Amino acid sequence: MNLLFVCMGNICRSPTAEGVMRQRLRETGLAEVITVDSAGTHNYHPGKAPDARTQKHAALRGYDLSALRARQVVDADFEHFDLILTMDWDNQSLTESLCPSAHSKKVRRLAEFFRKHPDTVVPDPYYGGPEDFERVLDLIEDGVQGLLAHCQRRLDASGSAGSTL
């Protein structure tokens, strides 16, 4: 099972989601079954590490994002990934416009998996303050928990790591 998290530049929200999900997968023993990556709809920061503020706030919660590097969504992603999880409506629209119709059901918002928060998006913290980066972490942790439960149900139902998301 392969998951891709998508935001605009792949330096704040999507690498945070990738890092949080990677940690949860290690904790649950699913790191060998579910693979995770992140990408941006725009090629603003190719090869760059996540934003320093993103890394700082993630580290305060025990997530190490330092090895992650920004990249842009590519055509092969739509074939490879079972779920492509966008952070907001703009990312959703842009990702859908790039996605071949055969794979359109793979594109969903991470907010669809929130369990505690009524929000419909993970807002971009880039121009905000520390509280915005903390809010993003709160939302992503919530979404990752719901997404992990969704993935576990699918794995249990299929009896394998097949693309039955």
Catalytic residues: 7, 13, 124
Report how far apart the first and last C-alpha atoms of the chain are (Å, whole number): 8
From CA 3, how far away is CA 165, in angstroms rounded?
10
